[in-house]
Structure 1
Amino acid sequence: MASPRICVVITAKDTAEALQRLKGAVSQGPDLIEVRFDYMESPGDPGSIRDSTDLPLIATNRRRDQGGYSRLSEPDRVAAILDAVEAGFDYADLELNTPDLDDLGSRVKALGASLVVSHHDFEETPSGEELRETTSRMVEHGADVCKIIGTAQSARDNLVYLGLFGSHREGGLVCFGMGRDGILSRVLSPLMGGEFTYASSHAGGESAPGQLTLAEMREIYALMGV
């Protein structure tokens, strides 16, 4: 069985708080760190964050229509992500509905980073066919990692997300359901072949409904013997 990789999400109002959160998270042994720049009240300093850890870093500045808090214009938002990549971040997360996604993805890769193409549905769980169609579009746009997240309305919905791993063949995949009913797919997805799953650095720092802390995720995996 694959060893689950956990990406801890850092949400902070500024770079100083992000560095403090990151230090605490690193001490818990995550595999990756995602920095949510859209939570920051002013442009962050990605160089300082990059210098603070050797762990792989994901730069995210989430669009408001995808559940984020970015206050920037679209050109400034994507420029901030590219600034982080230029500073040495390993991944850039760009939403599937980002304008000029192909060009931006090429620029991300030219800078030596990997491209995460993401889509979030905060209303429901798409059908299996819809999930497959969406990931196919992500691959067409050059995704190194396809990230497709829905909202679980029942425990049964977890099977829809986990079922995608049986058919996905191109590149990495992150797929699970948000909300309390989606916790099972959050936990099991990396054991089914998912690139990684997400956790918060601390209680109260959740960036999405149903997100567990890193400590909680580690405890669950320990009980499972993985």
Structure 2
Amino acid sequence: MICVALAERSVRDLLEAADRAAAGGADLVEVRLDALGAPGPADVETLLGAAPLPLVFTNRHPGEGGAFRGPEEARVAPLIAAARSGAAYVDIELRTEAGLRRRLREAATSGGARLIVSHHDFAATPPPETLRDILARQHAAGADVAKLVTTARSPEEARRLLFLYPEAETRDLPLVAFAMGPFGRTTRLACLALGAPFTYATLEAGRETAPGQVPLAELRDILDRLQAPQNTRR
């Protein structure tokens, strides 16, 4: 599946972009609430009521590439509202205080949302033992899906991250792991072959929410070609 990440300045713009994502073959839409400035429960309800695709809500911490600048309670509050009101997924960073994570976990359980516990590294890809430790902590935090995104400074760093999939399988934990940056572009596709439930794309070039995101049309075309029946000559 393809999840298109959207960081728009208004709910109206988000819904218009979500419509375009649906028309382009996306399966999910990630709503970056931090781009809205000060999102409230009414914004969440409007998005859930009008969006054409299942929604992933996140309110990204500034330490992991986000734009939210308020207190942590205010950052998590709209995610709790989304989890209780019909969101497909809510995404909370592993770095978030444990009590707030537990409150979101409880809201997700009661509302039927799946909890993504995420970690982003915009500098590099840590050593294998560090990656395994992060994954273990995501599992212990009650993740339904672990999201682990690093920056690949070389092909070796990109491969290192992909080797984490067998570890996630032993924990029976769905994993979305890929690398940002030029060396990581192919991992955004390879992760699907290794078991990731979805990968992330940008709606179009120039609207990326993270380095190395592939435009939806390009990624959709590649996946469709790979999945198309092949004529073989005998």
**Which TM bucket (shorter chain)?**
over 0.9
Greater mean alpha carbon deviation, residues 42-51 or residues 190-199:
42-51
RMSD: 1.5
- Cα separation, 1, equivalents of 2:70 and 2:33: 11
**1:83 equivalenced with 2:81 (yes/no):** yes
**1:211 equivalenced with 2:207 (yes/no):** no
Query: How far off its partner does 1:55 sit?
Result: 2.6
Query: How far off its partner does 1:151 sit?
Result: 0.3
1:95·1:117 contact (CA, 8 Å) conserved in 2?
A: yes
1:120 maps to 120
- Cα separation, 2, equivalents of 1:132 and 1:37: 29
1:153 maps to 153
Q: Per the alignment, in what secondary structure is the counterpart of residue 219 of structure 2?
A: helix
**1:32 equivalenced with 2:32 (yes/no):** no
Structure of higher CA gyration radius: 2
Aligned residue identity for 1:94: I
Query: Is the alpha carbon distance of 1:108 and 1:225 closer, same or farther for their aligned partners in structure 2, counting shifts above 3 Å?
Result: closer
- Cα separation, 2, equivalents of 1:53 and 1:16: 10
Going by fraction, where is helix more abundant, 1 or 2?
2
Unpaired runs of at least 5, structure 2: 229-234
Moved over 3 A (4+): 222-226
Aligned residue identity for 1:194: A
1:85·1:113 contact (CA, 8 Å) conserved in 2?
A: yes
TM-score (norm 1): 0.93
2:231 maps to none
1:14·1:42 contact (CA, 8 Å) conserved in 2?
A: no
**1:68 equivalenced with 2:38 (yes/no):** no
Unpaired runs of at least 5, structure 1: none
1:14·1:41 contact (CA, 8 Å) conserved in 2?
A: no
Q: Percent identity?
A: 38
1:33·1:56 contact (CA, 8 Å) conserved in 2?
A: yes
Query: How far off its partner does 1:80 sit?
Result: 1.2
